[in-house]
């Protein structure tokens, strides 16, 4: 009765409330694939793939054609034996967002079958988490305005996008700090700096007594040596995002002592690799944050349940659904930003 009977892919498009600008990318909308797994008993599990060509080389136009291939591989498998399904999907490593969506939809279908929330299947470590909210690249005035609005609305952690103009970025941080005293700052360069620029950036902020709690992906994703150079010359913790796609990337980063933080995104790794990364990073005595791409509430639901279940994360950057126009909220969690609570 718990065997998979059908799998469907549906393309969904969501407009941003305002254009979302990061280093080298400007998005007006997110195009995602919603996945539904139905079992023989009628239980339905939902997942979402939010592909990124910039990070993973994925396009919706390609991923949608995987539907018959994945159906052929998975129909007849039992969601109660979800590790077998995970192992099949691990072979789709070139399509990590679809891997994540299928793996989560499997757990969601299992959740419906047995009457236990996914976060409890994953461990039930926490009952609530707190997300940050992001300030995209814009004029200095608009970035300060956005940061102040975020802080005044109750968010205690602000994520700030930088990486296109070093001088302006320093001025932005200076002005945001003056207007949001008491906030925590995650600064994300999205691969925009050279190692020398990244070191100049953090040392200038330090000289101004501006503390940032995490400096995320300052250099190119392939520049592991550059990450290490920045880490050993930064007064602030340095994290990997685009450099940390798979568990094998994370193993290399750990061995090199290249970072203080790893940013897990289910869209980069899927559930299976993410679970492995959690244990690897904990064993290495490093720290974790969890982030997102352009997921709707269906996709953010995956990361919220993963974070609640594992309880592994210092920072939660799960704000994409707050930035997209959706007709209905469809997450299986209580959303009262900045707090997300388990149902």
Q: Write out the two tokens for 143.
A: 């970035």
Report residue 243 as tokens: 């450099």
Residue 133: what pLDDT? 98
Mean pLDDT of 216-223: 98
| % of the chain residues with pLDDT over 70 | 100
- pLDDT for 1 beyond 90: no
pTM, entire model: 0.97
DSSP string of 102-142, one letter each residue: HHHHHHHHHHHHHT--HHHHTT---SEEEB-EEE-S--HHH
> Which regions of the chain carry the CATH code 3.30.390.10?
4-115
End-to-end CA gap in the chain: 26
Distance CA 262, CA 242 (A): 10
Q: Contact 259/253 with Cβ under 8 angstroms?
A: yes
Averaged pLDDT of the chain? 98
Instruction: Please list the residue range(s) of the chain that carry CATH number 3.20.20.120.
Output: 121-342
Bridge partners, residue 37, by sequence:
7, 45
For residue 121, give the nearest of 79, 92, 85 by alpha carbon: 79
Q: Is 165 helix (H, G, I), strand (E, B) or coil?
A: coil
12 three-class SS: strand
What amino acid positions are annotated as catalytic residues? 161, 265
Calculate mean pLDDT across residues 27-38.
98
Say whether 241 counts as a known binding-site residue: yes
CB-based burial, 248-259: b 16+ in 10 Å, e otherwise: ebbeebbeeebb
Q: What percent of the chain has pLDDT over 90?
A: 100
216 labelled binding-site residue: yes
Residue 314 CB contacts under 8 Å (≥ 6 apart), including other chains: 261, 287, 288, 289
When pLDDT is averaged across residues 314-334 and rounded to a whole number, the result is 98
Does the pLDDT at position 9 exceed 90?
yes
Q: Does domain 121-342 have CATH number 3.20.20.120?
A: yes
For the domain bounded by 4-115, which CATH number is listed? 3.30.390.10
**pLDDT of 228 above 90:** yes
Single out the residue of 256, 219, 217, 255 nearest to residue 237, CA to CA: 217
Whether a cis peptide bond, with omega within 30° of 0, leads into 338 is yes
Answer yes or no: is 188 a known binding residue.
Answer: yes
Q: How does pLDDT run across 229-278, given as a tens digit for each residue? A: 999 999 999 999 999 999 999 999 999 999 999 999 999 999 999 999 99
Q: Give the list of residues 6+ apart from residue 133 with CB closer than 8 angstroms, or none.
A: 150, 155, 157, 158, 159, 319, 322, 337, 338
pLDDT surpassing 90 at residue 290:
yes
């Amino acid at each position: 009765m718990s065997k998979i009977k059908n799998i469907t892919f549906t393309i969904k498009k969501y407009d941003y409330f305002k254009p979302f600008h990061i280093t080298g990318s400007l998005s007006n909308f997110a195009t995602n694939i919603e996945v539904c797994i139905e079992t023989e008993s009628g239980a339905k599990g939902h997942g979402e793939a939010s592909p990124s060509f910039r990070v993973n080389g994925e396009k919706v136009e390609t991923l949608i054609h995987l539907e018959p291939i994945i159906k052929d591989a998975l129909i007849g498998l039992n969601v109660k034996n979800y590790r077998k399904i995970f192992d099949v999907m691990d072979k789709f490593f070139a399509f990590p967002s679809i891997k994540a969506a299928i793996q989560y939809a499997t757990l969601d279908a299992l959740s419906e079958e047995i009457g236990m929330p996914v976060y409890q299947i994953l461990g039930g470590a926490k009952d609530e988490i707190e997300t940050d909210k992001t300030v995209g690249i814009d004029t200095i005035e608009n970035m300060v305005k956005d940061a102040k609005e975020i802080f005044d609305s109750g968010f205690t952690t602000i994520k700030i996008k930088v990486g296109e103009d070093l001088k302006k970025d320093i001025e932005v941080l200076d002005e945001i700090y003056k207007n949001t005293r008491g906030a925590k700052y995650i600064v994300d360069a999205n691969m925009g700096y050279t190692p020398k620029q990244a070191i100049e950036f953090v040392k200038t902020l330090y000289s101004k007594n501006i503390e940032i709690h995490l400096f995320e992906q300052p250099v190119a994703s392939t520049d592991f040596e550059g990450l290490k150079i920045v880490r050993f010359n930064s007064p602030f913790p340095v994290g990997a995002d685009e450099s940390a796609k798979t568990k094998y990337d994370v193993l290399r980063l750990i061995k090199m002592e290249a970072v203080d933080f790893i940013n897990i995104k289910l869209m980069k790794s899927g559930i299976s690799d993410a679970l492995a990364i959690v244990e690897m990073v904990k064993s290495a005595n490093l720290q974790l944050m969890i982030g997102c791409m352009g997921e709707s509430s269906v996709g953010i639901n995956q990361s919220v349940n993963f974070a609640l279940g594992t309880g592994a994360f210092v920072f939660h950057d799960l704000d994409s659904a707050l930035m997209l126009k959706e007709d209905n909220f469809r997450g299986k969690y209580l959303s009262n930003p900045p707090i997300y609570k388990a149902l």
